[in-house]
Amino acid sequence: MAGRDAWSNPSKVSRDDARRMAAFLEERAGCPDQRQVNEWVTAVLHPLSGERILEVGCGSGVLCRMAAQLMGPEGHMVGVDVSPDMLDAARERGGGVEYAAAAAEALPFPDATFDGTLAARLLLHIEDPATALRELVRVTRPGGRVTAMDWDFETLAVDHPDRDLTRRIIAWRSVHHSGDNWSGRQLYRRLADAGLAELAAMPVTTVALGGDTSLAQSVFRAAEVACDGGAISAAERDAWVSELQQRIATQRYFAAITYFIVRGEKA
């Protein structure tokens, strides 16, 4: 997940691609680093029994299902995604969640419908995050909470002996690939601009100590796209990746990245 590709624009992909994307999201959610982030953002959202909660950009419904479990049968969890095919895949996974197809910038709900709203891993991928946040605030009741979460790719730390090459790979990936990779550090300002009060910001740093993490996959992908974009040579890519693969094999691999979760209340 150069620029905004099909993975960050699911309304443009085929039904088969959407199903493959849903399977990828489910597989990613099973990685230990992603389980950690998902547990944190669900705790910050703090869904309660009897509440109405909305997630925008819900994908295959991983977080919706987690929140619905905490809300019990008295709660009402709603997931919105721009891709109807993605939502079909989410419905097949059950979990007592209602799904609706819509763009984040034009939500099909009346004002003050929900006790809490969530945008996780969404704002970095869309063209107009300010409008999307205004919509989240609009459909949240007074006194309700709005929660947003994104990573910041330039917080990526990778233990590699070639510091210059590592910096070039991270910088290229941060600027050129898959949306606004500074979104995490912008969330506090964006929620303040949306008029929310009682803002709180929480960093969650996930650590990869081997190849069985979503982060490790992202690190290798960063080298690949930097090479594709001409920022590094194929020889540099191969040498960089080979070193990390050797460290994984000898249990000496280390990488970490920080996600930012920001929550505010609607006045």
Question: What does the pLDDT look like over 73-110, one tens digit per residue?
Answer: 999 999 999 999 999 999 999 999 999 999 999 999 99
- Concatenating the DSSP letter of every residue in the chain gives --BS-GGG-GGGS-HHHHHHHHHHHHHHHTSHHHHHHHHHHHHHH---TT-EEEEES-TTSHHHHHHHHHH-TT-EEEEEES-HHHHHHHHHT-SSEEEEE--TTS-SS-TT-EEEEEEES-GGGSS-HHHHHHHHHHTEEEEEEEEEEEEEEEEEEE--S-HHHHHHHHHHHHHHBSS-TTHHHHHHHHHHHTT-EEEEEEEEEEEE-SSSSHHHHHHHHHHHHHHHTTSS-HHHHHHHHHHHHHHHHTT---EEEEEEEEEEE--
Contacts of 1 (CB under 8 A, 6+ apart): 7, 8, 125, 178
What pLDDT does 35 receive?
94
Q: Are 253 and 127 in contact (CB under 8 A)?
A: no
Q: Which residue has the higher pLDDT, 51 or 16?
A: 51
Contacts of 247 (CB under 8 A, 6+ apart): 159, 253, 254
Q: Which domains does the chain have, with CATH numbers?
A: 6-265 (3.40.50.150)
> Given pLDDT bands bounded at 50, 70 and 90, which one contains residue 18?
confident
The torsion angle over the Cα atoms of residues 75, 108, 181 and 148, rounded to 10 degrees, is -30
Mean pLDDT of 247-253: 97
**How many degrees, rounded to 5, is the angle at CA 156 between CA 105 and CA 18?**
40
What pLDDT does 86 receive?
94
> Given pLDDT bands bounded at 50, 70 and 90, which one contains residue 227?
very high
Whether the predicted pLDDT of 3 surpasses 80: no
> Given pLDDT bands bounded at 50, 70 and 90, which one contains residue 4?
very low
Whether the predicted pLDDT of 8 surpasses 60: no
**Residue 81: beta bridge partners?**
101
pTM (two decimals): 0.91
Distance CA 173, CA 222 (A): 6
177: left (phi over 0), alpha (psi -120 to 50) or beta: beta
What pLDDT does 19 receive?
86
Q: For residue 47, how many other CB atoms are within 10 A of its CB?
A: 22
> Given pLDDT bands bounded at 50, 70 and 90, which one contains residue 6?
very low
- The closest alpha carbon to 147, from 187, 105, 205, 206, belongs to 187
- The closest alpha carbon to 100, from 132, 77, 69, belongs to 77
Whether the predicted pLDDT of 126 surpasses 50: yes
Whether the predicted pLDDT of 9 surpasses 70: no
Question: What does the pLDDT look like over 163-219, one tens digit per residue?
Answer: 999 999 999 999 988 789 999 999 999 999 999 999 999 999 999 999 989 999 999
Burial (0-12, 13-18, 19+ Cβ within 10 Å), 227:
buried
Place of tokens 């721009």: 82
Mean pLDDT of 112-131: 96
